[in-house]
Structure 1
Amino acid sequence: MAAANYIVAKRNVAFQSIAFFLLILLVAMPLADFLTVYARDAGISSIERFSIVYRAVMLLLLIILNSLLIRKSQILLWASFIFSGLSIAINLLLADASMESVGENFLLLIKFYLIFLFYNVFAEIVKNRYLPINRLVKTFTLIIFAYTLSIPIGAIFDISSFQFYANDRWGVKGIIISGNEMSGFLIIALAWALLAKKSIFKIILVLLTALAMMLSGTKAAFLGLVLLLTGYFWANGGIKRLFYAAPTALLFLFICSLLVYMKSERVRLEVENTFAYFNYQFSNQAEGSILTLGLSGRNIKLYNVYNDIFSNRPWTLFTGGYPIADYSIEMDFFDLLILAGPVSFFIYAVFWVKQWRDKNSFNKAAANASRFKLVFLVAFISLSFFGGHMLYSAVAAPFLAMLIIKFQYYNQKVNA
């Protein structure tokens, strides 16, 4: 018994130390991403891929921490991950694909599962009180604030390295390296801000995040903004509040965006370019199809990929292992389905939804938070079905995992 207690104690000490280091890396993540964004714009190749190495270290720490946890309840989940990984390797090696292609597709699979790795660590920290949960939530709030603030700053001060679409169209990504992953992060950030306790800082964070979503220029961020704001007012006041509060909030945000538009010459130019861009895309690439324009051509990608599957590798419909990273559909549902296979996809979906189960005692505040959580899940899953980089995002994964914790412990003074 003494030996067993000693082993458990050593494991806890090791977990605490490594988890503390991981949290330090998370806190410094905005700085790491800023350095990479700056290096790309300045052409400094030596630090341009710094964020990749940075996140590789974080992934290594996550793997070590999860190996220390060994959750029996997740054996099926990780067995499905291993099966999918083997399927990817076997299918690509038999097709004489390069090791680079195998690595890229396996990395994409890992990105889908990052949410579980982060959630397990955060849940263990909260469960064993290695760090007060309120402090953990405040730490993440500051990180979210840093990422979100960079977007309006990039728009107001015309910072070229913070732009998403260069001069082609309107869009600012701030210090988020991959603009494709920006929408998922901002939707999570808005939900996080709306869950905060009533204060001046909450108002500032909500307005800042909403403004960033409008400045981002992505369709998913616009839709997420409308869905979450209307859903929040419904969850906290019913239909009556929804009809007068949501339009007022959206009008206010429109006025704020208009002020930024008037302040920044670059933004004005990019808005004009955006209209020209979509007009060109509608007439040429979309061939007059509103659906193709709205999905940014993803429906065409979907057709091309499944046509290739039916013609050349139909077995991947059952085993997974299709090299989707080589030609991504960018619709999370279909990407994961043919990358992991239907069985692993089903297991993944069950465990993903299971993480969101309530742990709150029933009262009015918890009931409102639970309704808002339902709104968030419907919005997030719907947008991940029609778009990409929602479920697989190295940027959004830790914040989505921590948002689950915030929802689960909403009543325990963590809504900071």
Structure 2
Amino acid sequence: MKNNSLKNNIRILFIDNFLSILLITFFCSEAYGKTVAFSNETTILQSSIKLVVLIYLVIDVLINYKKKNYLITVTLLSLFFIIGQYIIPNSYSSESIILFSKYLFPLFLFLYFNCHTLNKKSVNYLFKVFELIIILNSLLVILGVLFDISIFETYQFARFGYNGLLRTSSTSTYFYIISLFYFLYTYREHFFSKWKSIFVFIVCLFVGTKSIYLGLGAIILAFLFLKIRAKKQRYILGILLILVFSVIGYLLFFEFGKFNQIRESNGIISSILSYRDQLFLNKTLPNISENWGPVNYLLGGFNDISSRSQLDFIDILHFWGIIGGIFYLITYYKLYVTFYINKIALFCIVFLIFIIFFAGNFFTYSTIPIYLLIIREVFLKSKTNANNEHSNK
């Protein structure tokens, strides 16, 4: 009996803190992956961990999830993938199967945590772990800037930017944008009077991605709307901020620096999208025209990893087709948004969607849905506190 009780307690402890365990494990594996890549070596550790976690998620969801309609939805998406692969040449490659599993990972992760909700103690522990990782990685960014440490660079000798132990520029962008919104939602009008949020805001200046700078502007705008109550003052400050960032944008893209050089040689669109438009025109469209039939336009069909445009909404349609892509996006949204969308949450969601239009890998990086679940817990906690305050009045 004691052994059974101990096993049951360990199981409950594991489930309650599973998101924290995933956060620590994936961050450490990503850090290890960056270290190995910096040494020009390869490792299967990251992919192996993700595969094991995905298998566990699938098994648990199949056993415990009660709302079978979402399981039917995932089955339909799998059927779309099978059909799309069946009717294109060079189908069922290891690349396409791996990418398929990456697309499914966030869906099963959301399904799992919709089934196994976190208690208050687990949520508070999760927030502490997340903040610790944010501060730790941000300290490494500062060290990278001060001592020019190559391994902490965002772009590995290509252009300025430091992202600590985060492996890619895309991961860095979403990690720090979500971190900014996490602290904004936590501190609200006290955002610029708390050392953690101030520190992270400053660190974002050194990450070096265009989307991060847009994120800083978005945070300032959201903060001013929280801080200033008078509508007239809000509009005036909003207009001033837009003008300031327009001037900064003009200087970056038309006067000096790397982005100006890209604009002069390849045009403003290539400069804004970091050549992703060239990938779309030279890789994605030719791949579609050469391999797709009528059914593929509806259900997708993918056989070449190099044909991705790195523009996420385009890549969704490239992989899943029009019907499959819309189906996937609706499923992703419904599984994730289980909280009341107030103004700050809406602003966060809209801004992330805006960034996804110009960036890639949002739907296929396994760490990003973990960060999304963390900020979802912030939104859910805020709703709970608001309900408690209302009931106490």
TM-score, scaled relative to structure 2:
0.78
Matched residue, 2:147 = 157
Shift of residue 383, structure 1, vs aligned partner: 1.2
Counterparts of residues 203-352 of structure 1 (less than 5 Å): 203-235=194-226, 237=228, 239=231, 240-241=233-234, 277-284=258-265, 286=266, 289-304=267-282, 305-315=284-294, 316-323=296-303, 325-352=305-332
Shift of residue 394, structure 1, vs aligned partner: 1.9
Partner of 1:216, secondary structure, is: coil
Partner of 2:384, secondary structure, is: coil
Partner of 2:367, secondary structure, is: coil
Q: 1:200 to 1:222 in 2, by over 3 A?
A: closer
C-alpha contact 1:180 1:389 (8 A) present in aligned 2: yes
Question: Quick one: which of 55, 58, 63 aligns to 1:63?
Answer: 58
Distance in 2 (alpha carbons) for counterparts of 1:356 and 1:11: 29
Aligned residues: 364
Letter in 2 for 1:336: I
Q: Percent same amino acid at aligned positions?
A: 21
Unmatched segments (≥5 aa) in structure 2: 1-6, 245-251, 387-393
Shift of residue 214, structure 1, vs aligned partner: 1.9
Higher mean alpha-carbon deviation, 399-408 vs 66-75, is at 66-75
Counterparts of residues 8-407 of structure 1 (less than 5 Å): 17=14, 20=17, 23-42=20-39, 45=41, 48-70=43-65, 71-91=67-87, 94-97=88-91, 102-126=93-117, 129=119, 132-197=122-187, 203-235=194-226, 237=228, 239=231, 240-241=233-234, 277-284=258-265, 286=266, 289-304=267-282, 305-315=284-294, 316-323=296-303, 325-355=305-335, 357=337, 359=339, 370-407=342-379
Distance in 1 (alpha carbons) for counterparts of 2:26 and 2:133: 8
Partner of 2:90, secondary structure, is: coil
Matched residue, 1:255 = none
Letter in 2 for 1:378: V
Pairing 1:410–2:382 present: yes
Partner of 1:410, secondary structure, is: helix
Shift of residue 124, structure 1, vs aligned partner: 3.5
Distance in 2 (alpha carbons) for counterparts of 1:62 and 1:281: 43
TM-score, scaled relative to structure 1:
0.75
Distance in 1 (alpha carbons) for counterparts of 2:28 and 2:336: 30
Letter in 2 for 1:213: C
Higher normalized contact order (CA 8 Å, seq sep 6+, divided by chain length): 1
C-alpha contact 1:18 1:65 (8 A) present in aligned 2: no
Q: 1:60 to 1:79 in 2, by over 3 A?
A: closer
Distance in 2 (alpha carbons) for counterparts of 1:38 and 1:226: 32
Q: Deviations over 1:192-222 (max 9, x none)?
A: 1111146799822322332232211111211
Matched residue, 1:259 = none
Q: Deviations over 1:127-156 (max 9, x none)?
A: 6x3954333333333333333443233222
Q: CA RMSD in A?
A: 3.6
Unmatched segments (≥5 aa) in structure 1: 1-9, 252-270, 361-368
Distance in 1 (alpha carbons) for counterparts of 2:342 and 2:210: 26
